[in-house]
Amino acid sequence: MRLAFVHGINNENNTPESIANVWWDALVAGWKAAGLMPKPKPDISVGYYADLLGGGTSSAAVEMGPSGSSTGLAAGLLQEYADAADVSPDELRAVTAELGLPAEAVAQGAPHEGWIVGFASVLERVLPTKGKLMARLFLRQAVTYINDRALAAQIDRKVSSQIFGAKSDPVIVIAHSLGTVVSYRILASGAAAGRQVPLFVTLGSPLSVRMFKSILPARSSIPNPPIGRWFNGRHKEDFVTLGRAITQQSIGFPDVVDQTDIVNKDDDKHTIIHYLASPSVAREIYAQI
């Protein structure tokens, strides 16, 4: 059965080919750790949007003003992560000065829209001092996606074409980080009608973060997303997820399997390699291929 990998943040230096190879190798390592015999490498599609997202998170975007396609949700997303880590306004102001950004970037804990990327940079610097390690660039790229309707729609169209396109075969969709948001928006849209996704795997997903839910299709508008089984893997210390499971209450989709038995001894609990190489995740995918 065909696999579709949809990457997360910080992939500008990777290619679809390198992502396919690295993710597959990690999955094979997970099978070995689980005592499973390897399977032949299937056809692999990659939902690749790092080029679009990286361009939207450029230094010029730090000083961008409000645009017609802005959602106005970025500040709320940043504040949600800041509140979860108990970051104080004084801590934000201190790092803002250290980075040479203007005070208005974090004024009253909620930045002017023109400084959302700057505020994200500040928060990414503060979080480790609070014992909350955040994957590099996650917040900067997440606010770019959540704030720019036009860019998000462009990314969604590109990824949908890459993982589905003219193909009508069943496909296992495996998504990581921000890629889980992109993937779910596609699967819950009309573009995925009639498709077959026997297994949807989300890893290190922020889908249950309140502000992300604001850009998801309304529950009432999702008659039957073509998902046979949904498996969600999250490390308990992966701050991207804010420690929140994906449940019917939070996402509107029933019977999501929530697995927190993730093997990762590194400081960064968000890496895709460790997620895929964890036996609990690897076994789930093995059973469906």
Q: What is the CATH number of the domain that holds 158?
A: 3.40.50
Question: For position 127, what pLDDT does the model report?
Answer: 85
- Using the Cα atoms of residue 112, residue 251, residue 262 and residue 171 in order, give the sign of their dihedral: negative
Tell whether 164 and 228 lie within a shared domain: yes
Model pLDDT for residues 163-213, shown as the tens digit of each residue: 998 888 999 999 999 999 999 999 988 778 889 999 999 999 999 998 888
Residue where a domain terminates, one of 113, 129, 147? 147
Whether residue 169 is found in the same domain as residue 262:
yes
Same domain, 131 and 28: no
Q: Which regions in the chain score pLDDT beneath 50?
A: 59-68, 109-111
My answer on whether 62 and 142 are in the same domain is yes
pLDDT at residue number 276 = 98
What is d(CA 103, CA 73) in angstroms, rounded to the nearest whole number? 20
DSSP 154: H
Q: Let me know whether 164 and 237 are in one domain.
A: yes
Q: What pLDDT is stored for residue 98 in this prediction? A: 83
What are the DSSP calls for 30-56, one per residue? HHHHTTPPP-----EEEE--HHHHHHH
What is the pTM for the complete model shown?
0.89
State whether 163 and 250 are in the same domain. Answer: yes
Q: What is the pLDDT of residue 219?
A: 64
Total structural domains in the chain? 2
Claim to verify: residue 109 and residue 245 sit in the same structural domain: no
Domain boundary among 120, 147, 174: 147
Joined together, the tokens standing for residue 182 give 């992109």
Domain containing residue 74: 57-147
